[in-house]
């Protein structure tokens, strides 16, 4: 079992042939940005996840501040679907509102500081 974990870790974190390296070179192009030339509210999420996989939390937050709350939301959603928490639906609604607010505030900040081109 330890050998399998070591192989998985090497595949994930390998410098030249790892999953992270592959992800960096195969990011999806944003259709909104391709058509308009402007960033969409979700631009930066993929790069932020790759930075998070590399362990660079600060860069991940700078690239897309909603990444960590969104991942937390998805983890909580999976646990809620499995264990059906008593007030889970209400907590999910609050988390959705929080993540959406972060996305909107970040996009307004980008527009205000002309970082969307």
Domain extents for the chain?
28-112
> Tokens 């960033």 label which residue?
39
How are the residues of the chain apportioned to helix, strand and coil, as percentages rounded to the nearest 5? 70, 0, 30
Whether 26 shows a pLDDT value over 70: the answer reads yes
pLDDT of amino acid 13: 59
Mean pLDDT over the full length of the chain: 89
Whether 10 shows a pLDDT value over 80: the answer reads no
> Tokens 């909603």 label which residue?
66
Q: How confident is the model at residue 20 (pLDDT cuts 50, 70, 90)?
A: confident
pLDDT of amino acid 7: 66
Taking residues 62-80, report their average pLDDT. 97
Taking residues 48-63, report their average pLDDT. 94
pLDDT of amino acid 22: 84
């Amino acid at each position: 079992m330890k050998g399998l974990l070591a192989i998985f870790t090497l595949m994930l974190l390998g410098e030249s042939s790892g999953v992270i390296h592959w992800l960096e070179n195969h990011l999806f192009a944003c259709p909104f940005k391709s058509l308009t030339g402007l960033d969409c509210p979700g631009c930066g999420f993929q790069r932020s996840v790759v930075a998070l996989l590399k362990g660079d939390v600060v860069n991940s937050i700078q690239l897309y501040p909603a990444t960590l709350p969104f991942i937390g939301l998805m983890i909580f959603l999976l646990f809620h679907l499995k264990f059906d928490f008593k007030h889970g639906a209400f907590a999910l609604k609050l988390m959705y509102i929080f993540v959406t607010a972060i996305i909107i505030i970040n996009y307004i900040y980008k527009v205000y500081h002309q970082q969307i081109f």
